[in-house]
Chains A and B, each alone.
Chain A
Amino acid sequence: MKRRTQIVLGIAVLVLQLVLSEFLSIDGVRPDFLLILIVYVSISQGSLAGVVFGFLLGLVEDVLSAGSFLGLAPLTKCITGFLVGRLHGQFARMNPFIFHALWVGIVLFHFAFYLFIRLQTVFDTSPVQFWETWFFTVIYTLVFIVILQLIVPLPRLAGSSPGEGG
């Protein structure tokens, strides 16, 4: 994927998130299209692209989002981009089940980390509500990743060549 294509894709997903996320909101929970793009870019390009994409898109998300902690989305998204990027080129070396379990696990960790900081009081006072929110947020985004998998499978992007760390 060329750098120009990545930038255009980034802007397109940002616009998609801006326009569609409000209409797709269910009980205050929205799909995170930016995270989906970060997962795809990281797996296809490696950790460096994941960190850069995660940080920049996270920063834009925080700046445009009302009421969020500025810095939280870039922090969680760049870590996610880095971790998912480690899977670049690893599909052929891994058991497919482990490969998929790893990126799903990283997405689960991403939301747990993000929501833990965002909803600290809820975590302290009502852990059940916290984990319910986490569950629905994760599931909603994962549904879109699974749908996208049918069109562009992640293993195809992950490739079989050894990862070069970006």
Chain B
Amino acid sequence: MRRLLGFLYERKDYASLLVAVNISLSLLFSNESSSIQILRGKIHTVFSVIYSPVMWVRGVASLRLENALLEEKVTQLMLLNSSLLQDKRENERLREMLDYVRETTLDLVPARVTSSGISPLASAITIDVGRSQGIGPNMGVISTDGIVGKTVSAGSRSCVVQLLTDYNFRASVKLENSGTVGILRWKRNDTFEVWEIPRTVQAEVGERVVTSGFSDIFPENVPVGEVTGYRDDPKLHHKVVTGKPYTDFTALENVFAIRIDIP
């Protein structure tokens, strides 16, 4: 035993590497365990408080620009609202006629982005709502422009949101004009791709891409972005549509988590 300890002491760099690798692998293989998830949720909640001064400074710095943009957006929305009100009345009248019953109710919970982590890849953010506000994993997160991502884990007052810009993120979307459904995945340089689009479908540049509603995470018709082009690779059996997201992921501050109750 003494010789073993002596050997380990002599080779303490190897011994420490062995211990560190073992602990790392144990953590890596227990990522899904509930105790690890709860611990991370608690740490994120504490970290949100520590990180809040940085977010405050960042918020103040971008306030003027944000105000100008909001004023512009308010005017646009006012005009849009007026036309939508007309559509709503017509829609309600038609629904009454069809005796339509809403099957789902959308509930938006406002949240602030508290951190975007320190990993070399910016693919997730933390927001300041969690289980105490009824937000759990696999709930959609949107901004006023369009979809942002989905929650992947939740603490009592914080949630980790996987961003649309994460290369592993997938969402079912459709081209608004044709209604063709495809799978969205992030590409690079502020672009996304929509796969599985049949070759016969004509995608128009500028056409809106919205969520398809074929999942419990995002309701139908949440804006995602617009078509910028397409790729017709002869090796593929389908067309790949490229698009630009509406959401500016470099300036995320306020978002909404979608709480969906299915009666």
Contact = CB atoms under 8 A, between A and B. Distances in A.
B133 interface: no
A165 B54 CA distance: 39
A132 B188 contact: yes
B160 A66 contact: yes
A121 B126 CA distance: 23
Contacts, number: 148
B34 interface: no
Interface in B16-52: 16-17, 20-21, 23-29, 31, 36, 40, 43-44, 47, 51
A122 B6 CA distance: 46
A51 B13 CA distance: 7
Interface in B110-126: 115-126
B260 interface: no
Nearest to B53: A19
B118 A28 contact: no
B121 A29 contact: yes
The CB with the most chain B CB atoms within 10 A, among A22, A62, A67, is that of A67
Interface stretch (A1-9, A71-79, A89-97, A146-154): A71-79
Interface stretch (B75-83, B162-170, B171-179, B224-232): B162-170
Interface of A: 14, 17-19, 21-22, 25, 27-32, 34-35, 46-48, 51-52, 54-55, 58, 61-75, 78-79, 82, 85, 111, 114-115, 118-119, 121-122, 129, 132-133, 137, 141, 165-166
